[in-house]
Copies of this chain bind each other. A is one copy, B any other.
Amino acid sequence: MEIVIPIFPNLTALDAVGPYEVLSRLPHATVRFLAAEPGPQATENGMLSLVAEGRLADHPHPDIVLMPGGFGTRALMEDEATLGWLREAHAASDWTTSVCTGALVLAAAGILDGIPATTHWLLRDRLHELGAVPVEERVVRHGKIITAAGVSAGIDMALTLAAEIAGESYAEAIQLGIEYDPDPPFPGGSTRSSRPEIIDLVRRRASELA
């Protein structure tokens, strides 16, 4: 089972690494981090690089596509090579998935037209503009397409996918292996659970960055 995670300049590392940590534990799974060209891909803050082991073009038909997000998706959404790769990969995939603003890239490729999907909460309107039907859920499944909300939601999405592929007991064993019994030190983490002043704070910060 070949799982391809496209990476690119200015990605969000946890979008990719959270699901990798789950899916790499599936039986007979090979996770490949690929890019337009092999080599290090720096995250959006420049503090970390993940290495692309090879070219996307050399792996056109993975069983699973997992598209991570990050500021770099803005450039990726206009990159015909990436969008073309996604369309071809999706046509033959067993599962096509995204984390965070990775959904915007799937949408830009036309994969989410009229499809219920989620993304980072700050970008739901953008997802709508791109033709998808934004849903305020952490993980949204529609047929073989599974999208996750922002950054850390990729872990929950990957466990959902692991259960579909290998059964619930196997997925639970992976969950225990990575000791995923989350216990955030404070409530929050979504627009439903965070305090209004925290939501405002993050919105202001995001506007400044944009």
Contacts and interface: CB of A to CB of B under 8 A. Distances in A.
Given A14-B21, A17-B17, A45-B24, A183 B156 contact: yes
A50 B153 CA distance: 21
Contacts of A48: 17, 20, 24, 31, 33, 50-51
A131 to B, nearest CB: 22
Interface residues of A, number: 66
A169 to B, nearest CB: 6
Chain A facing B: main interface SS = mixed
A22 to B, nearest CB: 9
Q: Nearest 6 CB-CB pairs, A to B?
A: A150-B179, A181-B189, A182-B182, A181-B190, A151-B178, A49-B51
Interface of A: 12-14, 17-18, 20-21, 24, 30-33, 40, 45, 47-51, 53, 100, 120-121, 138-139, 149-153, 155-156, 159-160, 163, 168-169, 171-173, 175-186, 188-195, 197-199, 201-202, 205
